Amino acid sequence: MTPQFNFDNSYARLPARFYTRQAPSPVAKPGIMRVNTKLALELGLDPAELIAPDGLAILAGNAVPEGAEPLAQVYAGHQFGGWSPQLGDGRAVLLGELMTPKGRFDLQLKGSGQTPYSRMGDGRAWLGPVMREYIVSEAMHALSIPTTRALAAVTTGEVVMRERRYPGAVLTRIARSHIRVGTFQYFAAKQDVEALQTLCDHVIARHYPKADGPLGLLNAVIEAQAMLIAKWMAVGFIHGVMNTDNMSIAGETIDYGPCAFMDTYHPETVFSSIDHNGRYAYARQPDVAVWNLAQLATALLPLLGEREAAIERATEAVHRFPALFATAWQDTFRAKLGLTTPEQDDPELIQSLLDRMAHGQADFTNTFRALGKPEARDQFTDPTAYDTWAEVWQTRLAREGRSVDDALTLIARVNPAIIARNHRVEQAIAAGLNGDLVAFHTLTEALQTPFADHPGFAAPPGKDEAVTQTFCGT
């Protein structure tokens, strides 16, 4: 049973300087961890063929499917503000682009061995980061947040050395594309205007066919990122490594390294073990998005005409982001409060609740989920802080002609009951390292219906369960 993939590899038809032809490196003894049956069917693939020996060989990198043109993409980027002129897929291989009933998608193996861009790394992934990305990316999809997705995870039967020995694994990732802000930066840094134009044309054709040239592309990406970051903020998600090489041109969440969802709310929350100065803290993500988009604008300048006029046009485009984000943020959080029509003072009402949550050490997810119920005040160290806010909120609801009970339906529809809490993810990884994947499967399944009540997964971590740091897989 050999899986049949319908490939049309447009990126592989770009000039050779965009990538290196690179086959995945075979592994010793592949084994299936999980295949995303629902996603496979959406893509027109047969899940039974994916778990059969021929399919497993492809998912592990031991065989290249017919029609694939495996390659590693090159890009550059700013990492924590520092410039890296050449990065690229150091532990991933793009097999090709799938033509599916849902459109065109990249099929990529992550953890598939060394490439010319590995920078002395081994090009492999260990079990923990593969499980984390599978769990969190699929949780994000279930929350209707644009994201890369996990088609499958397999073990390799090999050992990966990090701070100690870990079992190896490979993630099969699906994305609208893997083109990043850093892809544009790479060619801009080389002053390769021809490649910049080729890349711009490719991205417009693939992602933004209504965009009018490079300025239209820049504006489209800015709009997509404003919506995306607002959605992150609405669920308490912290990316952790918002480098320009980790910002997708397609407007999807990409590269789940030291990512996390907040438990107790605080705007300065940081989880990434390598974010020592809080550059990518929860509340700073919109500002970082502006900074990253300014780097994209800078990279596109050679395509925008005479330099002084180009700078003016690009600056004007980037300056649109704050207003776009503010509107998306207000719309998203207004719905979280059970409100449907905008009022001028809504941002103050939203921020007042968030400030009280930060001071009262309230759980982000459970507070919003419980609004209008007695359990909401129980989230605060001083419940009266919630009570005084709730009086103002109820008055606001009344101006819409609605009671708290009327608002509960919308509140339950937009505020998840469960998220991929750090301690649950880490528990699943710990069990997986001991050969037990039950927690991994159970958690992944529960997160597919995040707006349904799952009492066993809703509780925040106990004192001995809290996870305060997350780590990159490299």
Catalytic residues: 245
Distance CA 282, CA 267 (A): 6
Domain finish residue from 399, 414, 429? 414
Q: In this structure, what token pair is assigned to residue 45? A: 């693939």
Q: Is the pLDDT of residue 474 over 70?
A: no
Classify residue 185: in a domain, yes or no: no
Look at the alpha carbons of 461, 465, 469, 471 in this order and tell me if their dihedral is positive or negative: negative
Categorize the per-residue pLDDT at 473 as very low, low, confident or very high, splitting at 50, 70 and 90.
low
Work out the average pLDDT over 283-298.
Answer: 98
What is the per-residue pLDDT across 419-443, written as a single tens digit (0 to 9) for each? 999 999 999 999 999 999 999 999 9
Which pLDDT value is given to residue 136?
A: 98
Burial of 15 (0-12, 13-18, 19+ CB in 10 A): exposed
pTM over 0.95: yes
Point out which residues pair with 159 in neighbouring strands: 167
Which pLDDT value is given to residue 112?
A: 97
What is the per-residue pLDDT across 179-202, written as a single tens digit (0 to 9) for each? 999 999 999 999 999 999 999 999
DSSP assignments along 292-329, one per residue: HHHHHHHHHGGGSSSHHHHHHHHHHHHTTHHHHHHHHH
Point out which residues pair with 168 in neighbouring strands: 126
Contact 315, 215 (CB under 8 A): no
Instruction: Show the domain range for 160.
Output: 11-175
Domain finish residue from 150, 175, 200? 175
What is the per-residue pLDDT across 314-356, written as a single tens digit (0 to 9) for each? 999 999 999 999 999 999 999 999 999 999 999 999 999 999 9
Classify residue 261: in a domain, yes or no: no
Q: Tell me how far apart the 2 most distant CA atoms of the chain are, in Å.
A: 65
Categorize the per-residue pLDDT at 469 as very low, low, confident or very high, splitting at 50, 70 and 90.
confident
What is the per-residue pLDDT across 211-223, written as a single tens digit (0 to 9) for each? 999 999 999 999 9
Classify residue 193: in a domain, yes or no: no
What ranges in 143-207 are assigned the alpha helix state H?
181-189, 193-206
Which pLDDT value is given to residue 467?
A: 84
What is the per-residue pLDDT across 24-83, written as a single tens digit (0 to 9) for each? 999 999 999 999 999 999 999 999 999 999 999 999 999 999 999 999 999 999 999 999
Classify residue 238: in a domain, yes or no: no
Backbone φ, ψ for residue 303 (5° rounding): -95, 0
Backbone φ, ψ for residue 456 (5° rounding): -70, -15
What is the per-residue pLDDT across 143-178, written as a single tens digit (0 to 9) for each? 999 999 999 999 999 999 998 999 999 999 999 999
Domain finish residue from 175, 203, 238? 175
Domain tally, the chain: 2
What is the per-residue pLDDT across 234-274, written as a single tens digit (0 to 9) for each? 999 999 999 999 999 999 999 998 999 999 999 999 988 88
When the pLDDT of each residue in the chain is averaged and rounded to a whole number, the result is: 96
